[in-house]
Amino acid sequence: MSNQTVLTGLSLGLMAALCYGANVPYAKLAAAAGASGPVVVFYRAFLMVALLGGLGLMQGGSLAVARERRLPVLGLGIATGFVGLGYISSVAFIPVGVATLLYYTYPLMILVAGPLIDGERPTGGRLAIFALAFAGLVIALGPRFSALDGRGLALALFAAAAAATQFFFAARATRETSPMVAGFWTQLILIPIALLACLATGGLASPAVLLAAALPVGLHIGFFILAFGLHLTAARLTPPAALGLVFCAEPVASILLATAVLDESLTSGQISGGSLVLIAVVASVLVESRRKAVSA
**217-267, pLDDT tens digit by residue?**
888 888 888 888 888 888 888 877 678 778 877 777 877 777 777 776 767
Question: Using 50, 70 and 90 to split pLDDT, how confident is the model at 162?
Answer: very high
Rounded distance between C-alpha atoms, residue 161 and residue 158, angstroms = 5
Of 192, 235, 218, nearest to 77 (Cα)?
Answer: 192
Mean pLDDT of 109-133: 74
Of 293, 291, 186, 287, nearest to 235 (Cα)?
Answer: 186
Rounded distance between C-alpha atoms, residue 226 and residue 280, angstroms = 24
With a pLDDT cut of 70, the percent of the chain lying above it is 86
Residue 147: is its pLDDT beyond 70? Answer: no
First-to-last alpha carbon distance for the chain, in angstroms, is: 9
Mean pLDDT of 83-97: 71
191 versus 210: the higher-pLDDT residue is: 191
Residue 101's pLDDT is 72
Beta carbons within 8 Å of 177's beta carbon, 6+ residues apart? 65, 66, 69, 73
273 versus 191: the higher-pLDDT residue is: 191
Q: Contact, 88 vs 197, CB < 8 A?
A: yes
Write the pLDDT tens digit of every residue in 28-79: 788 778 777 778 888 888 888 988 888 878 877 788 887 878 888 888 888 9
Q: Contact, 295 vs 5, CB < 8 A?
A: no
